[in-house]
Amino acid sequence: MSSTAFDALRARRSHSKVTEDAPDHKELERLLSAMSSIADHSGLRPWRIIELRGDARRRLGEGLAHAAAQAARKESGSGTGLADPKDIEKYVSKATRAPLVLAIIVSPKPSHKVPLWEQEAVASGVAHALGLLLHEAGWGSIWRTGPLTRTKAVRKAHGIKKPEYLLGWLYVGGIPDRDKVSKPRKPLDVSHHLSSL
């Protein structure tokens, strides 16, 4: 595969459709061990990842369904705020689109020096780097979020409590043969993104 970080980044792409293969826990540990060198103000390591496989993914789908029902009740002022079974299955099927779902959690640490936005930037860096490393290792992934990501029901489904919150999920699996191709990219007009003072 790629031999430099530049090549790896140029080749990186997301995969929204993946097969039922997935990196095992050991491989994931190896990839995550590289996060010891992520830029991290004061080295707070303000992030963690929850691995969801098999039926654990159902809890994510159920959490999303309940969050959607609660949001609908808030908006309309009617309804029970409890998801009906049809909607639960709809969200469960979304949550089980990949054999492995990695919930990316911002886990803020008390600090006088490092505000929350900097800690979120570290967790975001971890998610980007992990997607890159997964791709380099031959796995497909896509970072997904949505308006329900930071709801109470979704937090509860993951067993996380404030001040922790979610940055979304990396859906991970094998890359289907037909998608083992590079993705055409619109060239970046660097002059719009790099200037001098």
- Tokens of residue 139, six digits: 């796995």
Q: Which part of the chain contacts ligand FMN (CB under 6 A), choosing from 33-41, 60-68, 82-90, 139-147?
A: 139-147
* 142 sits near ligand FMN (criterion: CB under 6 A): yes
Do 11 and 135 touch, CB atoms closer than 8 A?
yes
Residue closer to ligand FMN by CB (options 111, 164) is: 164
Work out whether the CA dihedral 174, 61, 48, 117 comes out positive or negative: positive
* 13 sits near ligand FMN (criterion: CB under 6 A): yes
- Residue 19 carries which DSSP code? B
* 52 sits near ligand FMN (criterion: CB under 6 A): no
Q: What is the DSSP string of 40-105?
A: -GGG---EEEEEEETTHHHHHHHHHHHHHHHHHHHHHS-S-SS--HHHHHHHHHHHTSSSEEEEEE
Do 178 and 15 touch, CB atoms closer than 8 A?
no
* 168 sits near ligand FMN (criterion: CB under 6 A): yes
**Of the residues 7, 74, 145, 163, which one makes contact with ligand FMN according to CB under 6 A:** 145
Residue closer to ligand FMN by CB (options 73, 144) is: 144
* 143 sits near ligand FMN (criterion: CB under 6 A): yes
Residue closer to ligand FMN by CB (options 168, 174) is: 168
- Tokens of residue 130, six digits: 């992990």
* 183 sits near ligand FMN (criterion: CB under 6 A): yes
Interface positions with ligand FMN (CB under 6 A) = 13-14, 142-146, 168, 183
